Amino acid sequence: MSANSHYYRFLYAIVAIAVTLLGARAASAGAEPDGRPNILLVLIDDAGFADFPYFQDGRQRMPNLDRLCDEGLRFTQFYVNSPICSPSRAAFVTGQYAIRWGITSYIDASDDNARRGMRDWLEPSAPSLARILHEAGYATAHFGKWHLGGGRDIVAPLIGEYGFDESLTQFEGMGDRILPLLDAGSGRPPVKFSLGVASERLGHGKVRWVERSQETSEFVKPAIKFMERAAAAGKPFYVNVWPDDVHTPLHPPQHLRGDGSKRELYLGVLENMDRQLAELFDFIRNDPQLSRNTIIVVASDNGFEPGAGSAGPLRGSKGNLYEGGVREPLVVWGPGLLEKKAIGSTNDQTVISSIDVVASLLEIVGVELPANVQFDGEDLSAALTGVRPQQRTKPLCWVRPPDRPGQEGENLPDLAIRSGNWKLLTEYDGSHPQLYDIASDPNEQRDLAQQHPEMVQTLTSELLDWHRAATPTSAAATAPRQFANPIFEGADPWIIQHDGKYIACLSDGNRAVALHFSDDLTKLGPKHIVWEAPATGPYSREVWAPELHHLDDRWYIYVAADDGDNRNHLSYVLESKGDDPLGPYELRGPIYTGDDPAQKKDNRWAIDATVFEHHKNRLLIWSGWAADSDEQWLYIAPLKSPWELAGPRVRLCHNADHQWERVGELPDQRGLHEGPQILQHDGRTFIIYSASSSWQPTYKLGMLELQRDGEPLNPADWIKHDQPVFVGTEDTYGVGHASFVKSPDGAEDWIVYHAKRDRSDGWARAVFAHPFTWGADGRPCFGAPVKAGELLKLPSGTPAPAVKRGACDWPTFHSLEGWTYYGHHQMLKIDAGQLLLGVPPKDPANTYRSGEKAVLNDGRWSDLKVAATIRVLSGDRDAGILFRVQRPAVGFDAQQGYFAGIIPGSDRVILGATDGRHWRHIADAPADVEVGKDYRLEATARGDSITLALDGRQVLQATDAAFTRGSIGLRVVDSEAAFSNVSIEPLKRRPQRPKPLRAPAKSASSHRSLQPPGQRRTTLTAHANQPFALCAPSPLW
């Protein structure tokens, strides 16, 4: 191949991009330059091997890229890690095969990722070139497409968590981003791209909408500014510029659209992208310092999309493992860093991969590889800088994206390996081998497998060994597991860890104390009542804020109670008779919390008592009244026994030093302190207390800090922070009364707190949890309260459950073992073998409706038949079955999955879906349904076909592809119902010929689907409403 050929021109172009992109005014005014080379990585999206130079029509489409290619060192045997976006990009970031991180295809919506056994994002714990360079003193930034997590329905880690100081991305990443407006060229206003709409809903960054044809400029401008700032600070930089113009949807300016064909649109996009990169190229080229001390690497992330780009005579395209899918242009530019003889030349000898980029660049800039990371890539820096050709010591391996088996019946190979000049492609089991000599047959036209059986056997063995070693143990083990808040209903959460379990201690209906045991912080676990208040007496009512403590080989529960009159609230202690947290318990107290512990006269109002130790001294802290006035202060006293004070109480601080501590944050209202909790870290002690009014949205957390070597009983040794440390937001408010626990593996700190359900005065609340960190000053950083429905990763080290996939049945219910209930705790009851949901209690305590549901833990069925016997006891709304359900939380529509129900009030059977926040009606059908009668409701889901039957008669059939797998559950909506005889039967998927992937269909509105068009489709055959109408109950939870 000549340097002026079709393929090399492609390379030239890329070099050009890189060159200009990498130049930054290193010699700008300011600090003395660091001297270490700058790096710019330009990654073009979906460009084929033969795309960037002059096209067959003879028109020079990209003069700026071509110029850079002419000035660089070009490689013709460069391979990307995968023929599709996300895994290819992961290799450039990590220097490892992306399959090691559970990424084998493009990252899509969560359901589709789960179906393909993929992660929802690249784990931030993965090695990162940016992080390595950042830790070595580089300024780091990413501008452009990310596609390693974030978008569709997934809130993923911010790009900054991978080591970048600054980032700006598009709809396939988190953080600040620009989103595309699509101009159809019809004279009508541009429309928002559907995936951009989905991204905007996720939040987590500032969003701007820009014309699709101007996106590259919007990435180039901040890249230039970032490089200017780095140069002014005297710091070397590493910058990614990853434009996505070449990926569909293809929207060049109107004058570059040619005849409107896909190919012409593609060529127009290339030309337009090149023009927008010119500003960046000129910026770099005109700076003498940068041009001498910058290395630029330019490549494409994978093969071309059929109908748009081209790989010349190379076989294959995007999505498959033939050369046209994985062989890409690579250009390295750096006049001051390359061997002079190499500039303008082509390297046809070195086989190099994207996994080699990390190790090679680190060697070039003089930064050592982390010793604790095993990289798949090799150091080929001598080849990249033109010193000499090099060869890898290990072969290259690939795995086909699992969602790209082939089109129109074609069966594409699953795995591939290149060793020397040999390339082998096989199925996962090593069958159907194809063997090619790439040196003599780069277009893969002559299969030599039969002529060289020994080579086939050797390479097959090596390839299968690699695939087994690189593939994570299981999809369940590697897929990031998520949960949604709120995790349960209630208030004043107290959670501790003991013997590998979380134990939640909660008030039950203000009349009892309940313990819940779970190995998952986000699941409450079955209820165990360990103490019930008597029918009458001084501690028979208003049982508040119990806390479980293990002291001196016994268990103690500190709890406040009264006789029904809040003025008589006192603190009591329950003592276990043995070392079993389930008791039995004996009541001790009340604790004397007045001012005369010797005579114990005039005991004073006290709630929220907690115990802690300081230098082997045990102390009690609580919220109490000074006298008989309703004004709460924080008190501390030493303990003689778990229920007796050893000295007088001491008031820790004033309760109204700041207006934010007052009721309603009003200057004329009293101060209020309660819910004190001890937080100790690295030898320091903090009291995190609740302030303002628990019944209002102004509730929040303040902090007292004990000075080093301070005395806890001396108020002067406690420093009050003048600002609250945790306050509500527009979405989550009335936050307070927190407790603090570690993740199961001890690697993370978590805050568990309650928040109000609505902004009106009252105590309807639910419990939230999220991780927190520690600042450089050694103080806790709690961040902001999370939104209801926001997805978070499970606490680190949460045990992987034994997934249920087989047949199950519950003829009767005697407990909720194996299930988790989401709803007000007083609206769940098990009676006579039936599970009762939504049934109000006789003595309600702050009850509210929230679409009560019980969800089976750890179920994972795709195709199934689920049935239950349902009797609506009261109400005219829904009662029914959840299936393919994931990520449940407290709230009407706070789960992802399908719901099939009966509605006596309208004599209907209904089918719908919820996305964690909204209800989407799919279909309904008439049915004779009455209150007080048993009905057998059955839902059958096979692929995207869903059928509902009532008492054995099919009543509804619909097609919907929103959710593909999950667990099952039982649910009511503003009604009361009894459930029994629940059964699950897994079904086998009917064989189906693979279908070509289709371009996304246009959405009728931004509310058309729970996920972007093209990911879900719905067809109705029974009384369909307007498709995808959202009607979320208010409030969400």
Give yes or no for a cis peptide into 189 (omega within 30° of 0). Answer: no
First to last CA, the chain: 65
Angle at 904 between CA 898 and CA 907, to 5 degrees: 85
Whether the CB-CB separation of 950 and 868 falls below 8 Å is answered with no
Burial of 772 (0-12, 13-18, 19+ CB in 10 A): middle
The DSSP element (H or E) to which 819 belongs, if any, is: strand 819-822
Return the structure tokens found at 206. 């500032």
Beta-strand runs (E) in 538-605: 541-551, 554-562, 570-576, 585-588
User: Catalytic: which of 492, 520, 547, 661?
Assistant: 492
- 938 is an active site residue: no
Which distant-in-sequence residues (6+ apart) come within 8 Å of 306 by Cβ? 317, 318
H or E element that contains 458? helix 453-470
Which CA distances in Å does 866 have to 76, 157, 940, 943, 969? 56, 36, 7, 15, 10
DSSP codes of every residue in 497-526:
EETTEEEEEEEETTTEEEEEEESSTTS---
Closest by alpha carbon to 437, among 458, 415, 454, 452? 452
C-alpha span between 412 and 426 (Å, rounded) = 9
- Beta carbons within 10 angstroms of residue 600's beta carbon: 11
Query: In 10 A of CB 663, how many CB atoms?
Result: 20
Interatomic CA distance for residues 309 and 51, integer angstroms: 6
For residues 900 and 937, is the Cβ–Cβ distance under 8 A?
Answer: yes
CB 603 within 8 A of CB 644: no
6-22 and 262-285 are packed helices; what angle lies between their axes, rounded to 10 degrees? 40
Nearest to 433 by CA among 452, 419, 405: 452
Integer Rg of the chain from CA: 32
- Residues in CB range of 186: below 8 A, 6 or more apart: none
Q: Report the C-alpha gap between 722 and 702 in whole angstroms.
A: 8
Q: For residue 332, which of 350, 315, 318 has the smallest C-alpha distance?
A: 350
Angstrom distance (rounded) from CA 275 to CA 61 = 9
- Report whether the peptide linkage leading into residue 590 is cis, meaning its omega lies within 30 degrees of zero: yes
Tell me the pairing of strands 834-837 and 606-614: unpaired
Q: Of the residues 45, 70, 305, 674, which is catalytic?
A: 674
Angstrom CA distances, 167 to 139, 241, 968, stand at 12, 10, 40
Q: Is 492 a catalytic residue?
A: yes
What 8-state DSSP symbol labels residue 968?
E
CA–CA dist 809, 866 (Å, integer): 9
Provide CB contacts within 8 A for 431, sequence distance 6+: none
Nearest Cα to 327, choosing from 315, 336, 345?
Answer: 315
C-alpha of 271 from chain center: 36
Q: Largest Cα–Cα distance in the chain?
A: 103
Rounded to an integer, what distance in angstroms lies between the CA atom of residue 421 and that of residue 395?
Answer: 10
Q: Which residues are catalytic?
A: 492, 674
